[in-house]
Structure 1
Amino acid sequence: MIAVVKETATQDQLDHFVKWIEGRGFKTNVSQGDNETIVGIIGDTTQIDPFLLESMDIIERVQRVSEPFKKANRKFHPEDTVVDCGHGVKIGGGNFQVIAGPCSVEGKNLFEIARAVKASGATMLRGGAYKPRTSPYSYQGMGERGLDLLAEASAELDMPIVTEVMDPRDVQLFLDKGIDVMQIGARNAQNFPLLREVGKTQVPVLLKRGLSETIDELLMGAEYIMSEGNPNVILCERGIRTFETRTRNTFDVNAIPVLHHLSHLPVVGDPSHATGYTRYVRSAAYAATAAGADGLEIEVHDNPSEAWSDGAQALTPAQFDDAMRRIRLIREAVNAPVEEAK
């Protein structure tokens, strides 16, 4: 349930109302936007008489929310959330960012790749230190040494790091290493203990959609994180598993505008994991950009044929540079005012 507060309400009146609601055993989420203030009431709201609330001097109207996700719901928070990822980089609310780098950290070539993607316009550096792989015999990542290399590259280039955390026991290590954005991969999208653990921090979380997750399930994953007190969640559409086998996954471009309609959280598109093949990555990136994504996550490697993981979907620095030029053009076209016919 949400209660829309009248513009004439004072802060003291609002505080008193929130205290009154919480005194009856409910949780609240107060969103103060430019145009209106909304109090989200979380709990079994069937016990609340909406007519009683509407009779109060400070309440404009009351509306029940049918969706199970509350904190991630745009009805609770009409304004777009802007997530501060550190190093002066913000995403959401008109701030568009590109996350780029290798699938996995392999060594000192990380610095060459990082310099190249930054020169092309990437604003955040990705790289996996811990790798969830389908086979236990595949390369699993460098571990803590990989985090150290990412931190070195971040310090040199003044770029936020985005890297995947797989185990609740590693969250404190990521905090100690100063990781700017903790990524939850598709295989852990419903690892609820991990979601709760990152939710206990204030570090931004990039939450990827699960292999076969519905949009509502993705939003409920975000709700797990936010319910623990961390509002800094970025949603990521990375393709879902369907009957189609010509690509690694099926890129659900529909999800981008749908998520924007349902939620106030920033939405990123990952065309690399969505398609699985270098030749399709750029086209999918352009589609995500045109669909209104707040950012992109793209894998880039200086020598994809020698990459330790996912080389088949990595762009070379030259290909990434060309893609960035076209992405800028698409954003200009999409955001340009439309002239009325005369």
Structure 2
Amino acid sequence: MKLQLNIQPLNTWLNTNNEPLIISGPCSAETEEQLLTTAHLLAATGKVSVLRAGIWKPRTRPGEFEGIGSIGLEWLKRAKAETGLPTAVEVANAKHVEEALAAGVDILWIGARSTVNPFTVQEIADALKGVDIPVLVKNPVNPDLQLWVGALERINGAGITKLGAIHRGFSSFEKSSFRNEPMWELAIQLKTLCPDLPIINDPSHICGNRELIPYISQKALDLDMQGLMIESHVDPSVAWTDAKQQVTPAALSELVERLTVREPESQNEAFVDQLADLRKQIDKIDDQLLQKLGERMAIVGKIGEFKRDNQVTILQVNRWDAIMNKGISFAKALKLDLNFTEKFLELVHGESIRKQTEIMNAGKAEKGLAAETHTEVKS
């Protein structure tokens, strides 16, 4: 089912010359000099479309720098006047919206900590009614596609048609090289739900360190995202917030220069024909995979009945270990990604457990319902 949003294409509300949209600027506006210097250096690269700066900073714990506040909007206004770059800021409540609009900010974005709270999003949406301004919505902190979709719907419901999403990764308990796990599949699901929705990638917050930003940026463009939001500071080593994930304007320019921009479609007839043939082959294999999975689950059902009749537990750890070890060895021989293989086997095993549990408890559920009905009749 497609997501029904009334939105305008990105190129109708922001001129990017058919290049990826590059939004850049400091994580936090710290001083007027810092912001203006950074803005001028970014403008001089000729690669930045929009100047961003954090004015209000929602921090995880109190006592940390929480943004310079409203005075930073005046600095941003001056930076816009001097460089000609449109400006963007994060807003987290109605007051932020009112002050940003009054200061002539061109683009607003809603942060991950705000997206997670429908009350906050609705407050922002109410403040935007009757306003014609682009709004970008970051994914929520946790991997919840419905929260992300709901936030977009609330903002669109307020009459905002210049609407886009920002993919900044998701919080995870698993240790990783990334500050926030990309979980690309959720961004892809959103794109599938609403193909016309512009999605901007935020490699700075996904990576948490500048070394990984080029890799994530390229992957985002390869997945047909429309642009990047990359934090830049005139001197990241002395930045007041998120110093490790900010790059200098010169480094940003070099990074963007090295990115390969690919087209989502090709008009080359030979390419189209060959691609169609390869896709037919994949479709055939996918059909075979699903058929084999169906056959496997039919056998799983028989095993479930056999275990039930012989009073044997569903989970047998030794058997699961053997399946996993054999699968990983086979995956290595086939040159399959081991992480993918583990997740695939875990999904199949999880479905097998679910199916056997259903078989094991089917009779008990019926008996329980009958007993409950009997009790109600007696009472």
Q: TM-score, normalised by structure 2?
A: 0.64
- Cα deviation for residue 128 of structure 1 reads 0.6
1:333–1:233: structure 2 CA closer, same or farther, 3 Å change rule?
closer
**Secondary structure at the counterpart of residue 229 of structure 2:** strand
The reply to whether residue 340 of structure 1 matches residue 263 of structure 2 is no
Aligned to 2:305: none
Superposed CA offset, 1:177-236 (max 9, x none): 111011110000132333423541221111100111422321211100111211121101
Aligned partner of 1:211 among 141, 158, 173: 141
1:60-99 equivalence runs, <5 A: 66=1, 69-71=3-5, 81-82=9-10, 89-90=14-15, 96-99=20-23
Aligned to 1:122: 48
- Looking at structure 2, the residues matched to 188 and 91 of structure 1 have their Cα atoms a distance apart, in angstroms, of 28
Aligned partner of 1:103 among 21, 27, 33: 27
The reply to whether residue 299 of structure 1 matches residue 228 of structure 2 is no
Aligned partner of 2:258 among 323, 326, 332: 326
Aligned partner of 1:253 among 168, 184, 187: 184
- Looking at structure 2, the residues matched to 82 and 186 of structure 1 have their Cα atoms a distance apart, in angstroms, of 21
Aligned partner of 1:193 among 104, 119, 122: 122
Larger radius of gyration: 2
More strand by share: 1
Superposed CA offset, 1:60-101 (max 9, x none): xxxxxx56x5326xxxx7xx723655xxx3469x56310001
1:90–1:258: structure 2 CA closer, same or farther, 3 Å change rule?
farther
**Secondary structure at the counterpart of residue 340 of structure 1:** helix
Aligned to 1:148: 74
Q: TM-score, normalised by structure 1?
A: 0.71
- Cα deviation for residue 317 of structure 1 reads 2.1
**Secondary structure at the counterpart of residue 154 of structure 2:** helix
- Looking at structure 2, the residues matched to 272 and 307 of structure 1 have their Cα atoms a distance apart, in angstroms, of 14
5+ residue gaps in structure 2?
Answer: 275-379
- Looking at structure 1, the residues matched to 149 and 127 of structure 2 have their Cα atoms a distance apart, in angstroms, of 16
Aligned partner of 1:202 among 132, 149, 174: 132
Mapped contact 1:105–1:142 kept (Cα < 8 A)? yes
1:209-288 equivalence runs, <5 A: 209-246=139-176, 247-263=178-194, 264-288=196-220
Alignment RMSD, CA only? 2.4
Superposed CA offset, 1:260-290 (max 9, x none): 3211221100000011111111211111111
- Looking at structure 2, the residues matched to 250 and 228 of structure 1 have their Cα atoms a distance apart, in angstroms, of 31
**Secondary structure at the counterpart of residue 261 of structure 2:** helix
What is the percent sequence identity of the aligned residues?
A: 29
AA of the residue aligned to 2:244: A
- Looking at structure 2, the residues matched to 168 and 83 of structure 1 have their Cα atoms a distance apart, in angstroms, of 28
More helix by share: 2
Superposed CA offset, 1:28-53 (max 9, x none): xxxxxxxxxxxxxxxxxxxxxxxxxx
AA of the residue aligned to 1:283: Y
Aligned to 1:165: 91
AA of the residue aligned to 2:80: S
1:71–1:333: structure 2 CA closer, same or farther, 3 Å change rule?
closer
AA of the residue aligned to 1:248: R
Q: What is the number of residues matched between the two proteins?
A: 264
- Looking at structure 2, the residues matched to 138 and 308 of structure 1 have their Cα atoms a distance apart, in angstroms, of 9
5+ residue gaps in structure 1?
Answer: 1-65
The reply to whether residue 184 of structure 1 matches residue 115 of structure 2 is no
1:338–1:254: structure 2 CA closer, same or farther, 3 Å change rule?
farther
Mapped contact 2:122–2:155 kept (Cα < 8 A)? no
**Secondary structure at the counterpart of residue 154 of structure 1:** helix
- Cα deviation for residue 334 of structure 1 reads 6.3
**Secondary structure at the counterpart of residue 99 of structure 1:** strand
1:232–1:334: structure 2 CA closer, same or farther, 3 Å change rule?
closer
AA of the residue aligned to 1:194: E
Superposed CA offset, 1:247-272 (max 9, x none): 21101333444333211221100000
**Secondary structure at the counterpart of residue 147 of structure 1:** helix
